[in-house]
Every structure is written in C-alpha cells, then in structure tokens.
Structure 1
Amino acid sequence: MRRLVLAAFLAALALPAPAQTVSQQTAPPQGGPAGEAPPNAATLLFETNQLGNAPAGGTLSYRYTRFSGIAGAPFGPPVEDRIREQVAPGPNPETRNLRVEMFSGERRMPTATYEDVPGNPVLVRFLEHHLEDLAKVLKGNPRYIKNAIRRSLREAAAVTPAEVEADGAKRPGWRVVVRPFADDPVRDRLRGFESLTYTFVVAPAVPGQIVSIDARATSPDGGILLQETLTYEPNAG
C-alpha cells in the first residue's frame, strides 16, 4: 500500500481528438473555473481533491509517449504506452482507493495500490519515472532535479486559464507552465536540458482532473532532446 504524500514529491499538450475525447484549445478563456483567480501551482497540482469526481468502479486511462532525437538514443526508442488506474470507493466520499497499472509488456512496472487518497497519483508516477530516466542520462542527482521542480512550482510557475473539450463541451481549467532550470546555477552542465519546460493542464470537470502533462527540452537548433507526454483518454477505460 502506498499513500500519495505531498512531501514525497512536489513536483502536455493534450492532442486534438474527436468528439468525446479531451483536447486543448489554442485560445484560452479569459477567466478560470467559475471566474476564480489563478491558484498557486503546487496547491493546484498536489493539494487539491482531484479524485472526488472519479466514478468508483471505473478506470482512468492515460496515453503515455516519449521521444528523443539525441544521437545514440540514451532514452531508448520512441515509446507509446498506457497508464491505467482502477478506481474503487474510499472510506470517505471525497477519497478513492486505486490500483495503478503502469505500462505493458517488458516495460510493465509493478502494480501499485493507493488507499484513501484525494489526489491523482498519475501525476507523481509520471514525474518519478521521468526523473529517474533524466537523472540517468544526465548522470545527475535526481533529488537535485526534483527539488528544482518543486521550488519552481512554488515560486516561479505561470498559471493561466485553459479550456478543454470533454464529451463535446468546452470546460474551464488551468494551464501550469514552469521552466525549473532556465536560471539554474549549473545549467551549463545540463547539456541542453536547461530548456526543459513542463506544462500541466487540469480541469475540474474531467475525472481525476489531470488532462495532460508535457515535459519538453529542445536544442538551440530546434531539435527535440526529449518530449514526454501524458494525455487523458476518457473512452479507453
């Protein structure tokens, strides 16, 4: 049993899709959900009840992709896979018990269970996996990278209104964009990954609230050093 704990990890572009899928719109609305002021990014992503609207007995499914254009393929070949969360009732109306299956085939990771959680663990699982691979390629300390992301989410994130399409209707949400290493004191050692930009899109009307995550680093000539995405698939459960 694992519990989703903020202290364990603080810390996308949703692809266009047909009706009854979720997609980002290029022009965000002028106000957030119910006209709210932009929230703090860390609070929005890690301290919000995200699972209260996830139907018990259902499954939340997410499409995962990874691509890198670096010569020698240190991140391995391109990947497309799935993360699925089986949702069961929690002991409280606003919490759920989850069984998380991450990837398939030889990439399959051990199934994780979460009990009595309000937050969606897919966010933490994505970031943990991303940081593990990134630290190996950069031969760096994953804690240093994690702390940089945590600090930037608390202090330097841009939170703006977003609009997503769910089941054919436009729904308000938030887009969080952060560049943790743009001003890092050791950015000259990051081999281009100082450009890493994380984009999170969330929407209260979407079950589990996580619409998409995009982690992207590009070289000065526009080459893709890394693009790693997670996108909610409402009809794939």
Structure 2
Amino acid sequence: MTRVVACALALLLAAEPAAAGPLSELIFAPGAEAGAVPELSYAHERRMPEGLPEDAALPKPVSDEVLTLARTGGEAPRRALMRQGPGEAAPAPVSEFPLSGPDPVLLFFLESTARNMAALTGGSPFYIRNRIREALGQADLGTEVMAGDRPARQVVLHPFAADPHRASMGAFGELALVLVLEAGAEPPRFLSLSADTAVAEGGYHESLTLMAEDG
C-alpha cells in the first residue's frame, strides 16, 4: 500500500466517530485489541461497476487476494497487516498498527471504501470518511444472526441515505455497509465486512471475509 493510503489509515485510527453509540464504543474502544492477537486471514474481493473508462487513477477489481493480520515480534510488538495476491510468492506489507486500538482490518476496509467511492464519484474522501464515521457513531449493535455455525451480530449501515449531496453520488447514494461480528468475542472479531451500491448487476462490491483458521 502506498504511503498516502497508510497515512489515511493512520487518520482513521486517530479519529473518533462524531457520536459514541453502542457499535463505536465496541469497535473503537481504546485497548480493545491489546490482548492476544491471533493471526487472521481474510479473503478480499472487489468488483467494479460496468462501463468504466480506462483510467489508471480508478480502483481495480480484486479477486483471490488474501489480507492477513498478525502480531510482530520484538520488544515492542505491533500488528502487521499484509496482502498477497494470486501468484505472488510472499505477502507485501500494508502497514503496522499499535496493539491498542481499532481492528486494522476494519480500518483498511473503511479507508478502501472511502477512497474508492471518492475516485468513482469525484467526491471528497474527507467528506465521505466523516459521513461513514458518523454512521458508525450512530449505530447500535444490529441484529443477532448465524454466520455459518457461529452466533454473530450483523450491522447494516446506509451512511448517505439522508445526505444532502446524495443526488450527486449516483449509485453510491444507496451504499450499504454490512459488518458481521462474532458474538461475544473479546476482542471484537469481524467475520465479514462488505460494501455494496444499489442491488443491481454491475454495481460496486467490496468484501473481506474471515477464512478458516488452521487447527
């Protein structure tokens, strides 16, 4: 990941939601990740809207990529986020984060969503980040669901449903963010995160899905 994106992730890490609701208190609580940090891998997928022009500045589709979160060694351990695409011999570093703070996988997902939406709509990534943070701050803990054989909680957010600039956002005005957390896990563990525009063939989709753990 470029230094620019890593810096944006750091801004998300430092920023607090505009309001502190039940969800934000859980996932942004200082020290929430300070305990044991298992190595977790997520399958990363991104599908782009159809009919986009050839433009190197636009985000690209992603398939069969794995995002891995692991604890580093040494006297001052941190959490390292790495990505590995198909055919790549070794994972490439994304960024490192302190043990205390929000889940880096969540931060990666939120920043990717904000940057990609900005690139596709011409909107401000700062404005988009702020609206997403506000939606997180106002959210409750969602509904109880089963994610495979695991009890979980599913939170569905529509950050731009009442936005005064929604008309200029195209399909992203109906963006839905779906966060699925393992019920009762300490620290909070995301089973999946997804971002989708209005349900229609050829829309934007990005997801991170927890892969089966060895053993």
1:52 corresponds, among 20, 35, 57, to: 35
TM-score of the pair, normalised by structure 2? 0.75
> How far has the Cα of 1:225 moved from its partner?
1.7
Partner of 2:64: 80
Matches of 2:186 and 2:99, distance apart in 1: 20
Matches of 1:127 and 1:151, distance apart in 2: 12
Partner of 1:181: 160
Query: What is the total number of aligned residue pairs between the two structures?
Result: 196
Q: Is the 8 A contact 1:160 1:175 kept in 2?
A: yes
Matches of 1:4 and 1:141, distance apart in 2: 15
> How far has the Cα of 1:202 moved from its partner?
0.8
Letter in 1 for 2:142: V
Residue 150 of structure 1 aligns to a residue in which SS?
Answer: helix
Q: Provide runs of 4+ in structure 1 moved above 6 Å.
A: 1-5, 89-92
Q: Report which structure shows greater RCO (CA 8 Å, sep ≥6).
A: 1
Q: Which runs of 5+ in 2 are unaligned?
A: 1-5
> How far has the Cα of 1:189 moved from its partner?
0.3
Structure 1 residues 145-160: aligned runs within 5 Å:
145-156=128-139, 159-160=142-143
Q: Which runs of 5+ in 1 are unaligned?
A: 12-38
Distance change >3 Å, CA 70–CA 62, structure 1 → 2:
same
Determine whether 1:41 maps to 2:23: yes
> How far has the Cα of 1:80 moved from its partner?
3.1
Q: Is the 8 A contact 2:42 2:209 kept in 1?
A: yes
The percent identity for this pair of structures is 28
Matches of 2:61 and 2:72, distance apart in 1: 35
TM-score of the pair, normalised by structure 1? 0.68
Q: Any idea what the Cα deviations from partners look like across 1:107-129, whole Å, max 9, x if unmatched?
A: x7644222332532111012112
Q: Give RMSD over aligned pairs.
A: 3.4
Residue 117 of structure 1 aligns to a residue in which SS?
Answer: coil
Partner of 1:191: 170
Q: Any idea what the Cα deviations from partners look like across 1:42-82, whole Å, max 9, x if unmatched?
A: 12222272463534xxx211110011232126543453311
Partner of 1:114: 97
> How far has the Cα of 1:226 moved from its partner?
0.6
Higher helix share: 2
> How far has the Cα of 1:7 moved from its partner?
3.4
> How far has the Cα of 1:173 moved from its partner?
2.8
Matches of 1:134 and 1:183, distance apart in 2: 17
